[in-house]
Amino acid sequence: MDYRIKSKDGYTEKIGELVSMLEHTREVTLEEIADLTQADLDVLPHQTSNTIGALLMHIASIEFVHQVVSFEKRDLTEQEYAAWKIPLELGNQARETIHHQPLDYYIDQLDQIRANTLASLAAKDDQWLLEEDKWSHGVPYNHYYLWFHVMEDEINHRGQIRMIKRLLNQNA
């Protein structure tokens, strides 16, 4: 693993640095989950918590939403929202429906979403990162913030995954 942030080939300078950070964040997440079994992915530490599998799907869903908002400049369609609602919102429905999948299933979901992110970022330039828009309630944001949030969200949920793994190790 490389612990340097430097621009990746095939991207403009700042976008290449962003890609470096996104990829490092993902590499650490994948390393963290590498040895988990299906049973580990489905453990529910508390009746109101989330499973590791649900957290991985949430990470993928956040990235998908940010692709739509930043690359396509729109909100999710009804069909997209229906497909991603449960992992986006987590909660009871996620506890009831996101389970019984092997680790490869979750990794494939993360990889498919990330491949689209990387391809889309390759078509953008550094100025695009600074382009601004406003949320419906009037709060401004730029693309750089949106992609920072993708990393921030993944890192936050990776912390939850680590906590669940510690609980698994205590019960082993």
Is 13-171 a CATH 1.10.1740.10 domain?
no
Region of 6 on the Ramachandran plot (φ > 0 left; ψ -120 to 50 alpha; else beta)? beta
The reported pLDDT for the residue numbered 86 is: 97
Residue 172 has pLDDT above 80, yes or no: no
Determine the Cα–Cα distance for residues 35 and 31; give it in Å rounded to an integer.
8
Tell me the whole-structure pTM to 2 decimals.
0.95
pLDDT band at 2 (very low <50, low <70, confident <90, very high): confident
Percentage of the chain surpassing pLDDT 70? 99
d(CA 144, CA 137): 19
User: What pairs with residue 140 in β-bridges?
Assistant: 134
Q: Provide the token pair at 77.
A: 């369609």
